[in-house]
Structures are given as C-alpha cells and as structure tokens.
Amino acid sequence: MLVRLLLCCLFALPTVVVADASDGQFMGYKLGAKYPMVPQDVEFTTTGNLLVAAENPTKPADIAQVSLIVTPESRTIGYIVAASWYETEGEAREVGRHYVELLRAKYPEWDFGRELMDASLRIVEVNLDQAPYNLQLRLVRDEHDGRSMWRFSMGLGWHRETKEWHAWQTQAATEHAAARKIEHEQVLKEADIRGL
C-alpha cells in the first residue's frame, strides 16, 4: 500500500518539478522536441534556423525572456536560451554569480569550467557539461529596447561533437536546403528568364 501511495505521489508531481537539464529540459522546453506553435514573430539565424520567442516558458521571475533556436521546417528545438538585461555590468554579474552557484548546486556531477574571458581578462562565459548536454552562462554588452545594456543569459544545448549535436545540425541543414530549393523554384517560376 505504501508503494502505491508513493507511486501515486510521484506521478501527481508536475513535470516541472521532475524535469531538468539532465533530461534535456530547460525553461519548460525539451531539446529535440518540436516547438508546438507556428511562430508569429521569428528571426532567422545566420545559419537559416529560426529564433523564436517562447510563448509559455517555465522560468524564474528574474528571467525576462526565453528564446528557442529551431529548425526551419519541423521546428525541432536545438537550443534553449533564457535572458535578462541590466543597466550595469555589476548587476548583471551579480545575477550571473547567483545562477552559477545555483546550477552548480543543482548539477554537481556536471563538469564545470571552460571559461571565456573578454579583452580585460574578465570572465564572460562559463559552461557546465554533461554529455550530451551543455549549459552555458554568458554576460555581454547588448542593445535592448533601444539602449545599451548588459545581457545575462543561460542556454541549454547539445555539447558539440556529440551524436545528438551532429544529428540536429544535419537536420537543420537538410531543412534549410529544402526550403531554399523551394524558394529558388518559386523565383524562377515567377520570373521572366528568357535569354538568361
């Protein structure tokens, strides 16, 4: 009877409580899952993927925005990033320190390090790695709402050189090439190409 009660309690827990980055889940989304909605406002990345503002993220109160990088056709999630903007570098660094400590406590078995420094030798990026996943925390100067501000971000993606990373990259490239082919065919169909 006690076992049944424990199982009922476990299955009654919201998925937010049991889901975490060790399962590829972050801010209410999962790497490799399809983004469920047709994006309204999207931007294209330099590689032809879509940058989508997540509509229903599960996030801490001090995170302003969650964005997803998804493939252009199937909208398969390849990167999840949460960000906030601050007036001063000191404010942004304080929030960054808080999240570094929090994530190290939550994921003690993940490798910590791979730091990146700016020209002034200040740390602006740290990584937590547990193959096939990578949690990256970054601090950069950024434009936000027409002002120069400091952006703190945390992102979950696949660790480079894992089979999952290669599979997503291949899928994204294939979808991008297919979309470009359709665009080219449409341009040729609608154009007067006599003599060209």
Model confidence pLDDT, tens digit, residues 97-122: 999 999 999 999 999 988 888 888 88
Q: Over the stretch 165-193, which tens digit does the pLDDT of each residue have?
A: 999 999 999 988 876 766 666 777 777 77
| Selection from 28, 138, 27, 156 nearest residue 85 by Cα | 138
Separation CA 59–CA 98 (nearest Å): 15
First to last CA, the chain: 80
| Selection from 78, 41, 67 nearest residue 151 by Cα | 67
For residues 111 and 120, the answer to whether their CB atoms sit within 8 Å is no
Separation CA 72–CA 103 (nearest Å): 31
Q: What angle do CA 20, 25, 26 make, to 5 degrees?
A: 90
> The whole model's pTM is what?
0.80
What is the mean pLDDT of each successive set of 10 residues along the chain, which is 196 residues long?
Answer: 41 50 95 82 81 92 94 93 96 95 95 84 90 95 91 95 92 83 70 74
Q: Element (H or E) spanning 78, and its range?
A: strand 77-86
